[in-house]
A and B are shown apart, each in its own frame.
Chain A
């Protein structure tokens, strides 16, 4: 007599097409007696009956063509540089991923031919300001510096691991912050919009508590956006941390610690305080906010931040020039 598990095995391994007559007869008897298996069989046949579809022969060529075209164009449209929860995601991912392609395939900092903006020098000694309030950045009504003092200029990046623009922007931000290491204190703060972002934020601070931020940050982005593993459960995070040398007990201790609770709550409060509506967003010296929707490209976004850092450093001094905008 055939059992339910045997019928499942026949279905799952696709062996129903070659059944011996006596097995087929046993299967039919089982189906007649077992409503649950009969339902499963009926559902299987319904799905299998959907005729296979052929892709449009030109679809692959179109996709390849877009990759090629985007690579030549280099720069995506400004709104596509930012994660906006109300924008259709596939379009967003599509265009921003192409920007990431450029990141992967171009030398860091490589100038874009024919782009006048790249020919303008923006540095500490350059008093000319290229970017304007309202268009390229906005000013917070009240300064909200996280660390007070006249030392390094504080730059806060509000980001989300599930945000593809954040992934694509990361190498730009990293390269820039290393070049300005003496003048800039970069702090990354994950936003906590929704359960997935909150889970990732907790993982971010657990990594920080374990002294593993550097090892995990880029790997986390790549796991989500390149490997396609959303890391959307605690078990998945445990496995991911384990691959990077953090055992389960150590991970859980950090992940569930009150200190991490506090850091996640602080991250949530900061996003509200800065009035952040999309990622990546950058807050310079607790005073200026800029982000993907205010820049034409990731390179321009970095230049905006750089200029505001320069100005913040200059205008913090006791003998701030009259040209200071605040």
Chain B
């Protein structure tokens, strides 16, 4: 059953519940507002057109995040897509330390950014991320480790604790 067959109020509730989560995930991976908005729209359009019957709230969220990550990958994989990193210009950091950390997180390759966001911000376990991104858990662990190492290499000593 898709949302098409339900009342529009149900879908509006669904959007309100998940829109920020999906938008933030898309932003973390795409690093610019126009792309993240496109991805967010496409994700909810897919939910509207053909979302499966969800077994639980967690299942619902996981489905949306999986679709978002896949769409971001498809978008970025297009040979014609020029990647831009303008997130910090659009949403400014509140202090220099935060800026430095974010600048380095957003400079990471996309496979690291996705894993970092899902692990640190969404709080998913490596096992969950493996399922969401259809990777082996070992791969997710190694991506996380490498991302942390990359960040430590480029950040100042005093910021290590915050990573």
A associates with B = no
Q: Which residues of B contact A (CB under 8 A)?
A: none
Q: Which residues of A contact B (CB under 8 A)?
A: none
